[in-house]
Amino acid sequence: MKNAINFIVTIIVALILSQFLPWWSIMVAGFVTALFFSLKRSAVFLVPFLAILLLWSVYCFWLSSGHDFIMAKKIAVLLPLDGNPYLLILVTGLIGGLAAGVAAILGKQCAVLIRN
């Protein structure tokens, strides 16, 4: 249950913050959510990781699929990901998830410190 709440709250906070903050809004979201909805063990990292992975992937897909992935295919040549836009979506999601997850670990440690 706590995992699900953290998951949803991370996404909502990330969505709201992205309106005002640069790309690292997802790190803030991971951090803040971990402060208030503390999880245990690997879930500390995994839940926000999956939340942002999902958020960014869906957002990318939504932006790019309506446009035949024209740019995504080219960036997937540039990086290089064999010109595969889905791989690029995955990489984007992984990067976002990683950043949010790591920030959440920091948030969790702060929460532990404050509570004690």
Partner 1 sequence: MRFFKLGIALILTVLVFFVLNTKLGSIPPMGKFLNPVSGVWQNDSEEIITGNLSIDGLLDVVTVHYDSILIPHIFAQNDSDLYRAQGYITAKHRLWQMEFQTFAAAGRLSEIIGEKALEYDQQQRRRGMIFGAENALIKMKEDPETYKFMEAYRDGVNSYINQLDTNDLPVEYKLLDYKPELWSSEKTALLLMYMTKMLAGGDSDLEYTNALHLFGKERFDLLFPDFYGELDPVIPEDTNWDFITTEITATPEHKIPRDSISETIDKPHPNNGSNNWAVAAEKSASGNAILANDPHLGLNLPSIWFVMQLQTPEHNAMGATLPGALGVISGFNNHISWGVTNATRDVLDWYKIEFKDASRQQYKYGNGWKNTRVRVENIKINGAETLQDSVIYTHYGPVTYDKNFKGNGEKIGYAMKWTGHIGGNNQLPFLQLNKAKTYEDYENALKNYTAPAQNFAFASTSGDVALWIQGLFPNKWKGQGKFLMDGSNPENEWQSFIPQQFNAHVKNPERGFISSANQHPVDETYPFYVFNDGYETYRNRVINDFFRNKEKISVEDFKSLQNNNFNLKASELLPNIFEHMDVTGLTSEEKEIYNQIKAWDFYSEIDQLAPSIWDLWWEKLYDQVWDEFENDDLALDTPFIYQTIYLLKNNPEDQFMDIVSTPETETAKDLFLITFKASAKELLDWKAKNGNYNWSEYKGTFTGHLLQALPAFSRFDIPIGGDYNTVNAASKNHGPSWRMIVEMSTPPRALGIYPGGQSGNPGSKYYDNFIDDWAAGNYHELLFMQDNTTNSQIMATQTLTPKQ
Shortest Cβ 7–partner 1 spacing (Å): 19
Site for partner 1, rule CB under 8 A: 18, 22-27, 31, 56, 59-60, 63-64, 67-72, 74-75, 77-78, 88, 91-92, 95-96, 98-99, 102-103, 105-106, 108-110, 112-113, 116
Which residue, 9 or 96, has its beta carbon nearer to partner 1?
96
Least distance from partner 1 to the Cβ atom of residue 1, Å: 25
Looking at the Cβ atoms of 1 and 45, the one nearer to partner 1 is 45
Rounded to a whole number of angstroms, the minimum distance from the CB of residue 16 to partner 1 is 12
Of 8 and 17, nearer to partner 1 (C-beta) is 17
Query: Exposure string (b/e) for 27-55, b if CB count within 10 Å is 16 or more?
Result: bbbbbbbbeebbbeeebbbbbbbbbbbbb
* CB closer to partner 1, 31 vs 37: 31
> What is the C-alpha radius of gyration for the chain, rounded to an integer number of angstroms?
15
Q: Are 100 and 26 in contact (CB under 8 A)?
A: yes
User: Which is nearest to 62 in space by CA: 116, 15, 100, 110?
Assistant: 15
* C-alpha to C-alpha distance for 94 and 55, rounded to whole angstroms: 11
